[in-house]
Structure 1
């Protein structure tokens, strides 16, 4: 059996959390309960260990050219101090990964990739590297902690002189000192709430984790696991690689077309994606709300009029809405709001209707 990897924070919480394998890592799925942690992030704040995510530095005179060749969004638009959501695709338009690109210097970018894809992504990047550019895989040296929720700024502000209210979404500050540690603080996240992601040297992780928990105690800050991370991102219709995105699912099909710029010049997958944008993708990601009893789960088949039209990518009972809902990738011609479909749950077809997603949007 493959030895599971552990983040630099593992010892800080191993006795307080329920642990599960995830993308080759041993990670906390919950500390108290998924519902409690979910509610804390929606109403107060939650703290996540996301150190299993991967980081790759791309630097040198041809750094931008490489990032542009690899990604679907227009990296030339990123100023120093800004981050951008983007995707890497195969020539046929299928997704290698979705990622964040931070521009940390004149000729320097930080790529943050998904934990389960690290080896594959690094190989893909190196395979396509040409010109005067250096690609450095730094995942082992970097810890990442996310603090998410309406009180995230209040809690984090207590630990720094920097004015965090000046940070707009998808911008960051570098070398912010917190607890004597230089940290890159990014206003970003994966929960549908306001929040920050902190990147810093791995060995400092336990001290920063404990400092944040202590600082947020009076505000009800809770440590959170992957369970709440999944229900939070799902309600906000943020994709999970391997479910809403994959080698066989394009960003257009997954509703991520805003991050696909077909007029920025050539890049890997551009032609296939341009065709989907022009002619429409063969499948579309839609929201489902169950009419009959039952919870739609990943890979459950979806039917209409006896025809198999697709499958559920993610589904659960929404902790916020208290409804059984799901996301499903179905043939585009069936993606009509209000239409009834059937989800096959344990061999029985039960009724659901197509609804608008995201299911949750925070009040600005």
Structure 2
């Protein structure tokens, strides 16, 4: 089957990147060393191609109401230029996808979906809008938009230096806010102070025909600040340390936001706040919240040297299987193995001693609070 190609693929090849098929896209896994790329983001800056992510526009007079109904967040309450992390759930409460929504105008929202779920998100949005009889349109603009991320402590200086004099100042942009800027060369970009690494960072949405120019500009302006090309492997270890879930690992149709520790993003409305109408999955999610969850997503700190990987059993001190690892790596930042796992709620308290079955050998693990790493801590 033919894979989709990022507009930056030629630059990845020129940089000797290892290219892999990721969610149907040819994407860079690494350029040099996973650990070196990881440390670059934690200490200086990393440059990522995220053009595989889906950009879905929802527009029209009922756009806000449509997203209120389709997603678990209260999107109509978003101010202009805001971003919000939320989820699309099935009627039974299971997670279809986790997305970030940007309000670009009063009747114009951009929903950024995971590459593997883009098509189902588009289909579900259209079906839910139609079922509710709302006046809103859904357009998949993924093929027209490239997404480039600059992440790390030096990211603000780099992105500021990429902007034309007189453009809106990126340092003034608050976390989870977005704005339009003009980059050097007269390139218009929609820039958000968002990311998936646990560090300060910016994501730049630009037309595909200027993606190469923006990539080169980021490398040029970041060279003196130690910017490094980073692939999917570093992105995965960074997000794991930061306790950020990955669809297909921590999130799936088999879990709800409550098991994942993300019940706070489900907005049922409050008596002292804006009224919230019905949304897909509301009844099931209300029931799950009231009943409590049998399993809970936790962080694990390895007490040995071997890392637990996705799919490995988590066992109690008496050897009983009490959960499953969803993601695990030797942490470059912390210096010991870390993991996320779903475990029985009764053994989910931080400090609980557990073990992971690593190829037939029980490796000691301790339950720790998420995130495993916090910037500035």
Q: Distance in 2 between matches of 1:346 and 1:353?
A: 19
Question: Following superposition, which runs of at least 4 residues in structure 1 exceed 4 angstroms of deviation?
Answer: none
SS of 1:140's equivalent?
A: helix
SS of 1:116's equivalent?
A: helix
Task: Name the structure 2 match of 1:141.
Answer: 144
Q: Is the 8 A contact 2:194 2:202 kept in 1?
A: yes
Provide the TM-score with structure 2 as the length reference: 0.94
Deviation, 1:221, is 0.4
Q: Is the 8 A contact 2:87 2:95 kept in 1?
A: yes
Deviation, 1:110, is 0.6
SS of 1:354's equivalent?
A: strand
Q: Distance in 2 between matches of 1:21 and 1:106?
A: 37
Q: Distance in 1 between matches of 2:200 and 2:355?
A: 35
Note the alpha carbon deviations across 1:159-208, whole angstroms, 9 max, x for none.
22321111001111125344321100101000000010000101111111
Q: Is the 8 A contact 1:176 1:185 kept in 2?
A: no
Task: Name the structure 2 match of 1:298.
Answer: 310
Q: Is the 8 A contact 1:262 1:273 kept in 2?
A: no
Deviation, 1:78, is 0.6
Say whether residues 1:356 and 2:369 are aligned partners.
yes
Q: Distance in 1 between matches of 2:212 and 2:151?
A: 18
Say whether residues 1:259 and 2:285 are aligned partners.
no
Instruction: Name the Cα RMSD after superposition.
Output: 1.3
Deviation, 1:308, is 1.8
Provide the TM-score with structure 1 as the length reference: 0.97
Task: Name the structure 2 match of 1:195.
Answer: 201
Note the alpha carbon deviations across 1:216-235, whole angstroms, 9 max, x for none.
10110011000110011100
Say whether residues 1:181 and 2:184 are aligned partners.
no
Say whether residues 1:324 and 2:323 are aligned partners.
no
Q: Distance in 2 between matches of 1:316 and 1:87?
A: 26
Task: Name the structure 2 match of 1:342.
Answer: 355
Task: Name the structure 2 match of 1:115.
Answer: 115
Task: Name the structure 1 match of 2:157.
Answer: 154
Note the alpha carbon deviations across 1:23-52, whole angstroms, 9 max, x for none.
111111111211111111111110000000
Q: Is the 8 A contact 1:143 1:199 kept in 2?
A: yes
Task: Name the structure 1 match of 2:96.
Answer: 96
Q: Distance in 1 between matches of 2:111 and 2:192?
A: 13
Task: Name the structure 1 match of 2:272.
Answer: none
Q: Distance in 2 between matches of 1:246 and 1:179?
A: 42
